[in-house]
Structure 1
């Protein structure tokens, strides 16, 4: 595909995904607001603990096979999809049995026996991945983001519609759990309607070895990274309690919702870099531009909410959630830095440089978990914030891996980054002196927007979008 044709495809199809994520931000934020208010801090903390552990097991079962199917430069054979379905299903059955046994230990670790049954019920969602992964790979390979947007929008409606109704009927923790299960089932149904993929049992050792050669390296590094997601449900729940888990989960959910534009970059970048991976110049240009665009797509939303977080969160959610506003700035900074280096990681995955990603993830997670384990018993929930900040040092490792083959320019992204970080903490400073931080920040951000030609991108987007609609 030519560069112009590829950009047209990305912009035209990606626009639907961007609209979906924008609508998803509204639905997710207000749905989350009402759900948390209806079921309370303790129930949501228990739900966040259960889903956090279950999500890790789910990702472990799917093994990153979807990335193997997407990155293939030749057309993927139908049997590869069938093999992926069969293999994930077998792994999911084994994971369910192991998870069932683990449920008896979970209650003792968290000193809460009530968590066992919700955890077991959530394990049934593992089986959905066997069908969803190959079906989603078909859509991602074709850059069919319009269909992906349709899928994600309606399944999100199903989740919040079910959860809020049951929460209103006083189902407590079972409201989001049932909503989560129905969301998974509906995802399978809609994927079938869109892709018409009919799974079949298939086994081929040679094909499986080729698949696992990639996915084991991919999964090992990703699962190491995902260990950081277990800090909240396992360490915070043990040392701080379910209230702390709920507050951190709220802060994370708010940050993720505010990153709706950035999610478009993350979703498209892997497929885009896969298409241009053989052209070094285009890859360098893409990453140099994306580093700045990633920061600029995040910072205004995260900073904007951060300035009013200590008023909004207690007002809408209640005083029991006020700690979330104090943890929010640290989590926001972590997401901004991660966004800056997101394409670095995707590029290493595309070139199957698993060891380089593995080294980075090991360093990052080791710093994060060690810091959290040592400081959570000492300073409580702020130990999680301290761990977020200390783990930022690990991004130097990913830079060393990329600079071996590519020439990247960090000056402007680092200027933008260093400008954004102090402003996130704006509400904690004395008024009106805190407003002085906005002056240099505004000047640098405007310069950055013009430097990367952001307005040119907007004009190109509008022209290509109109051209695509007229076809």
Structure 2
């Protein structure tokens, strides 16, 4: 595949993934808010408690086989049969484990409903057996248009089922059945579009390298889960529920842009890097290009939001959440680094080096742990400061290792980040200057501050690093 063909395929894929998410997200939000009005906090509490185990198992399984299929250089029918055998064994094991743990988890939460929910949604693992390989092959082929359409149809249908059951008075069961319907419909549609009739082969020795790769990614996913949730785990034992709530809301606010953008890029980037894994020069070229575009986009988004969050949070969430402003602001300033760090992972997976990602996680966890323990007695702001102090150190170490893995020099990498960071600093100066002239928490003040920051950022790049503006314009035209 030529460089131009790959570029066109990546941009085409991003467009369809973005369109699919945008189309379904709006409908889902509208119906979800409607369902929330119909159900009670207790209903959502029951679902949330059950989802701790089910969500964790789903996370582990998502990293087990699918990445191995996407990353593999060649896939024969014999290999797929053995992978199908492995999927049956693993997913059936998780089905049995969740059924076995359902009552114990229910007793822990003192809720028989939690046990009943886990006993029911465990059946999703048996349904997913028939989705894994066809869906992974579609990702491998970067057939994101069909995947986006399938996801949109399944999501809308499942959301409507949830709403109908909620209107009929089924309470929390409306959410659970909606999730099951989503899995069933998506599995049926994926199999219809990419039918794959295979008899399983349980002789797994020939695919042990693929299983090992998936196992390392699963272990990395578990460590990353711990890394991301360690702040709440520790803070929940030390701080008051109010302080934890303020930090959690502030963090959720800070993560909103990343949760919408990064999964979209990872979904497309991993199969793209897998296709060119043997061409190190092209891999390095696209890594540096992705990092340049990352900083160009994330610095104005995250730093811009940080500069106006003192207006945005009270306007959207109300005055009672003012205590979340400072935690959100602090975390937002390090988000471009976190985005840049995570953007390396598709390339690392694409060349099949899961061990490198695992070591990165093992380095990151203790550094953040020390920071959280050191600052947690300062409340919600202290946990945010822990991130602000610890994460730049993690970033320097991890990104240094990543650049070494791909033979990228520090000078090359710094060239990607310095122009947008310089423009971002000047943007912040003008936004805070605008705050002095337009005080108060209102829409007018917010519009003036956003406009001032955006204009200054673009003009600074235009005069200091015009190539950045040209690269962005070229990307938008191609998309």
Normalised by the shorter chain, which TM-score bucket? 0.7 to 0.9
Equivalences for 1:269-284 in 2 at 5 Å?
269-284=269-284
d(CA) in 2 for partners of 1:374, 1:331: 17
CA positional deviation for 1:336: 3.9
CA positional deviation for 1:106: 3.6
d(CA) in 1 for partners of 2:315, 2:6: 44
**Which one is further off, 352-361 or 110-119?**
110-119
**Which one is further off, 411-420 or 361-370?**
411-420
SS in 2 for 1:200: coil
**Which one is further off, 256-265 or 188-197?**
256-265
| Residue 451 (structure 1) aligned with residue 467 (structure 2) | yes
Name 1:413's counterpart in structure 2: 417
CA positional deviation for 1:290: 1.2
d(CA) in 2 for partners of 1:165, 1:206: 48
d(CA) in 1 for partners of 2:363, 2:143: 36
Contact 1:49–1:232 (8 Å) recurs in 2: no
Contact 1:88–1:129 (8 Å) recurs in 2: no
Equivalences for 1:128-207 in 2 at 5 Å?
128-207=127-206
CA positional deviation for 1:191: 0.7
CA positional deviation for 1:20: 1.2
**Which one is further off, 255-264 or 350-359?**
255-264
Equivalences for 1:64-143 in 2 at 5 Å?
64-74=64-74, 76-107=75-106, 114-143=113-142
CA positional deviation for 1:353: 2.6
d(CA) in 2 for partners of 1:131, 1:37: 35
* Deviation sequence 1:142-177 (CA, Å, 0-9, x none): 111111111221122123222233334443332222
d(CA) in 1 for partners of 2:172, 2:20: 28
Contact 2:295–2:416 (8 Å) recurs in 1: no
d(CA) in 2 for partners of 1:375, 1:197: 53
Unaligned runs of 5+ in 2: 440-444
d(CA) in 1 for partners of 2:177, 2:382: 32
Equivalences for 1:46-65 in 2 at 5 Å?
46-65=46-65
Contact 2:68–2:210 (8 Å) recurs in 1: yes
Correspondent of 1:310 among 309, 314, 321: 314
d(CA) in 2 for partners of 1:249, 1:113: 29
How many residues were matched structurally?
Answer: 452
* Deviation sequence 1:275-318 (CA, Å, 0-9, x none): 23333333233222212323444566665695533322359xxx
CA positional deviation for 1:6: 1.7
SS in 1 for 2:196: coil
Name 1:223's counterpart in structure 2: 222
* Deviation sequence 1:211-250 (CA, Å, 0-9, x none): 2232222222222112346558977777766997899489
d(CA) in 1 for partners of 2:461, 2:109: 47
CA positional deviation for 1:391: 5.1
TM-score, normalised with respect to structure 2: 0.78
Contact 1:38–1:168 (8 Å) recurs in 2: yes
* Deviation sequence 1:17-39 (CA, Å, 0-9, x none): 22112223423443444444443
Name 1:365's counterpart in structure 2: 365
d(CA) in 2 for partners of 1:227, 1:322: 28
- The 1:152–1:246 alpha-carbon spacing in structure 2 relative to 1, beyond 3 Å, is farther
Structure with larger RCO (C-alpha < 8 A, sep 6+) = 1
* Deviation sequence 1:40-83 (CA, Å, 0-9, x none): 44543443343243222123234432111111222x11233332
Name 2:442's counterpart in structure 1: none
d(CA) in 2 for partners of 1:326, 1:115: 36
TM-score, normalised with respect to structure 1: 0.79
Cα RMSD (Å) = 4.0
- The 1:185–1:205 alpha-carbon spacing in structure 2 relative to 1, beyond 3 Å, is same
d(CA) in 1 for partners of 2:28, 2:298: 17
d(CA) in 1 for partners of 2:166, 2:235: 25
d(CA) in 2 for partners of 1:205, 1:184: 27
- The 1:311–1:436 alpha-carbon spacing in structure 2 relative to 1, beyond 3 Å, is closer
- The 1:107–1:381 alpha-carbon spacing in structure 2 relative to 1, beyond 3 Å, is farther
CA positional deviation for 1:459: 2.1
d(CA) in 1 for partners of 2:372, 2:99: 28
d(CA) in 1 for partners of 2:379, 2:98: 29
d(CA) in 2 for partners of 1:41, 1:379: 30
CA positional deviation for 1:368: 4.7
d(CA) in 2 for partners of 1:18, 1:5: 20
d(CA) in 1 for partners of 2:456, 2:383: 33
SS in 2 for 1:308: helix
